[in-house]
Chains A and B, each alone.
Chain A
Amino acid sequence: MSPRPPRRDYWNEPTLGWWERAYIFEIIRGLLTTNRVFWRNMGRWMTGRKGAVTSYYPEERRPDYARGNRGKHVLTQRPDGRPQCIACNMCATVCPAHCIEIEAGFDIEDTTHPKYPEAFAIDYARCIFCGFCVEACPEDAIRMVPDVPNLPGSDRHNMWLDKEHLMTWNPQQDVAKPYPPKGGLQK
């Protein structure tokens, strides 16, 4: 066995005086803190105000998500409302959680876009929100937007977002990143 490395000194190394070491006084102090917060929140709650920072999800959503939050996938649409996705499966292939499933369709009439997703589903019970799918997409067809999916449930096998759900985003109204991009799609 290799010798244990010497213990590092941390900047926040705890230092215990005799008072802390006596234990009983610190325990009482901790209980007092817990009680103080509990009764404060209880008092506010009984008088109809909001106490703790807990939000009552799903009735209520936190307004203060981080600016970088990308909690929900959307499928971008072509101007006629059909999905931009070409069902190439790059996103499903790169996904480390293997949680994207696509069934491709073929439409010979749609000459510039003959392959499209007939079904598209993402399992939110397994997605780790890494964003690889967005990176891998050659068509800018899948994006993640600052939102959270409204998916409370009691069954982990029932947390799939389907194509209809993923297509509800209206890209024309997204000022931050409009779709199609300014100057049109790259030819």
Chain B
Amino acid sequence: MPGIVIDGRELEAEGGQTVMQVALAHDIPIPAFCWHPALSIAGNCRVCMVEVEGRGLALACNLPIYDGLKVHTDTEAVRNQRKLTLQFLTLNHPVDCGICDKAGECLLQDYHYAHNGSPSTSIDPKVHATKHYSLGSRIVLDNERCILCSRCVRFTREVSGSNVLGIKHRGDTSLVRPAEGRSLDDDPYSDNVIDICPVGALLSRAFLHQSRVWYLTTTPSVCPGCARGCTIDVWHRKPEWRLQAVATHRNHTIARVTPHENPAVNGPWICNKGRDLAALVERPRALEPMVKGEVVAMDQALEAARQAIAGAQRPLALVSSWGSNEELDAFKEHLAPRFSCAVKEDHRQQPNEPGDDHLLLRADKNPNTTRARALFGETPAAVPEGTDLVLVWGEGFDFDTIPDGVATIVLGAFDAPENGLAAVFVPLSIHTERAGHFTNFEGVVSAFAPCFPPPATVADAETVFPQLAPQGATS
């Protein structure tokens, strides 16, 4: 193992590592635009210069370590070089941070505050380029802000494999552009380029000017979009920035979703469906408990359901594959003894949706099929003969397959015509309102936390199941 010295600290490193990797592992800050831990080394931004004893300045990101290497990250020469590099990068940069969604989490901004602090010295007018170039239905590109680090290009080549992006022309007329006849819409992972772009050149249309990032905070969560169960950060408004007069819906809606780096599941990426979590969970809700279509109090609804369950001869339960491990365990403990149980596929792969692929996406569009299958049986082809009560938990069930005259108890979060037809309907909280764990298709368990308080009239499935158990009436 080669021993190297960075800023006077003797560090142990592994052969084949670069100075940048060793520094990162030991929390020594070296600025980097083009280098990204999950991408190949481009070495084009020149901001990572460090001083090598006896050799002068060198790029930290593509300098392999060797025994006896001595590196300094903060000498006069390094500071000066960083300053010059940053001035060069901003020669044609519009510095329109006031209207840039990246402001607040932009590397160019951060490095300027840390390492430069002086305005451009150029006397030439800035070169102008396309301000809003459409890269498909999800992303717009601001070529003036682009610093040509090529992270986005390398992402589509090396990670997503779609090869959509490239850089054309030369010098100060260089432009990031999609390949002829291609669009980023072809790439189900395209939105990752928004995160990895070190500046505000690649902008999400969905998040465009929706909020300044410092008004937002994150809650760790798990994407329920498929059996991969990627760990994500759900961004929503900070409590101290609650809106009172303008656009108050922002207080309780998802602002955006970004990956939460997790080597065991998704690495630093997620797919575009994960970004669209709002579309999955912010659908019209079912908020009122109902008995035969009549709105009642939660106690009455639970009592009616309990009686129906206690009185049934051959009840069938269709268990949600969107339930958390805790909810599934609660169901197993309290209700499974009364029912014959089967796991239901809440969401199915849509015709235009990708199935299993090389990176993350899975054809099973439910987050917890693994745990549900481990506890309960397979999905039945049809409702068995002689069933006199069907309990449906979650979505995705075709009520037409129930024979006439069989009563239903429905537990769900979203508005659906079947809710009113059921003998009892119990409204449940949604993914962003409850805590729990999902087990992904490889058996990795990830936790999610609530982002928003649930509406007062809905219940958590975990607390509902014990109350529905027949012995609950006597205890």
A126 to B369, CA, bound (A): 51
User: Given contacts A101-B244, A101-B246, are A88 and B214 in contact (CB under 8 A)?
Assistant: no
Interface size class of B (residues with CB under 8 A): 10 to 19
Q: Judge if B9 is at the interface, Cβ distance under 8 Å.
A: no
Q: Judge if A169 is at the interface, Cβ distance under 8 Å.
A: no
A87 to B243, CA, bound (A): 15
Q: CB-defined interface of B130-149 with A at 8 Å, one 1/0 digit per residue?
A: 01100000000000000000
Contact A104 B209 (CB under 8 A): yes
Q: Judge if A108 is at the interface, Cβ distance under 8 Å.
A: yes
A144 to B243, CA, bound (A): 23
Contact A108 B132 (CB under 8 A): yes
Count of CB-CB pairs between chains A and B under 8 Å = 47
CB neighbors of B among A84-127 (8 A): 86-90, 93, 98, 101-106, 108, 111, 114-115, 119-121, 123
Q: CB-defined interface of B5-26 with A at 8 Å, one 1/0 digit per residue?
A: 0000000000000000000000
User: Given contacts A86-B98, A86-B99, A90-B98, are A106 and B209 in contact (CB under 8 A)?
Assistant: yes
Q: Judge if A43 is at the interface, Cβ distance under 8 Å.
A: no
Contact A138 B98 (CB under 8 A): yes
User: Given contacts A87-B99, A123-B244, A139-B98, are A105 and B212 in contact (CB under 8 A)?
Assistant: no
Q: B residues within 8 A CB of A102?
A: 246
Instruction: With both chains docked as a complex, state the minimum distance between the C-beta of A178 and any C-beta of chain B, in angstroms.
Output: 23
A77 to B98, CA, bound (A): 18
User: Given contacts A88-B99, A93-B214, are A115 and B241 in contact (CB under 8 A)?
Assistant: no
Instruction: With both chains docked as a complex, state the minimum distance between the C-beta of B325 and any C-beta of chain A, in angstroms.
Output: 39
Q: Judge if B247 is at the interface, Cβ distance under 8 Å.
A: yes
Contact B208 A111 (CB under 8 A): no
Contact A115 B99 (CB under 8 A): yes
Closest B residue to A103 by CB, please name it. B247
Q: Judge if A129 is at the interface, Cβ distance under 8 Å.
A: no
Contact A105 B132 (CB under 8 A): no
- Which residue of the partner chain, among A98, A105, A121, contacts B209 with CB atoms under 8 Å? A105
Q: Judge if B76 is at the interface, Cβ distance under 8 Å.
A: no
Q: CB-defined interface of B222-255 with A at 8 Å, one 1/0 digit per residue?
A: 0000000000000000001101111100000000
Instruction: With both chains docked as a complex, state the minimum distance between the C-beta of B130 and any C-beta of chain A, in angstroms.
Output: 11
Contact B212 A89 (CB under 8 A): yes
User: Given contacts A93-B214, A106-B208, are A101 and B98 in contact (CB under 8 A)?
Assistant: no
Q: A residues within 8 A CB of B244?
A: 101, 123, 157
Instruction: With both chains docked as a complex, state the minimum distance between the C-beta of B351 and any C-beta of chain A, in angstroms.
Output: 32
Closest A residue to B240 by CB, please name it. A98
- Which residue of the partner chain, among B212, B214, B245, contacts A101 with CB atoms under 8 Å? B245
Q: A residues within 8 A CB of B212?
A: 88-89, 93
Q: A residues within 8 A CB of B98?
A: 86, 88, 90, 138-139
Closest A residue to B98 by CB, please name it. A88
Q: Judge if A132 is at the interface, Cβ distance under 8 Å.
A: no
Q: B residues within 8 A CB of A157?
A: 244
Contact A103 B99 (CB under 8 A): no
Q: B residues within 8 A CB of A162?
A: 245
Contact B131 A114 (CB under 8 A): yes
A115 to B99, CA, bound (A): 6
A90 to B98, CA, bound (A): 8
Contact A115 B209 (CB under 8 A): yes
Instruction: With both chains docked as a complex, state the minimum distance between the C-beta of B209 and any C-beta of chain A, in angstroms.
Output: 4
- What are 25 A-to-B residue pairs whose CB atoms are below 8 Å? A86-B98, A86-B99, A87-B209, A88-B97, A88-B212, A89-B212, A89-B215, A93-B212, A98-B240, A98-B241, A101-B245, A101-B246, A102-B246, A103-B247, A104-B209, A104-B210, A106-B209, A108-B132, A114-B132, A115-B99, A115-B209, A121-B245, A138-B98, A139-B98, A160-B245
Interface residues of B (CB under 8 A from A): 97-99, 131-132, 208-210, 212, 214-215, 240-241, 243-247
Closest 8 pairs (CB-CB, A-B): A88-B98, A101-B246, A115-B99, A104-B209, A103-B247, A119-B246, A121-B245, A89-B212
Further pairs besides A104-B210, A123-B244, A138-B98: 6, Cβ < 8 Å? A87-B99, A88-B99, A98-B240, A101-B246, A106-B208, A111-B131
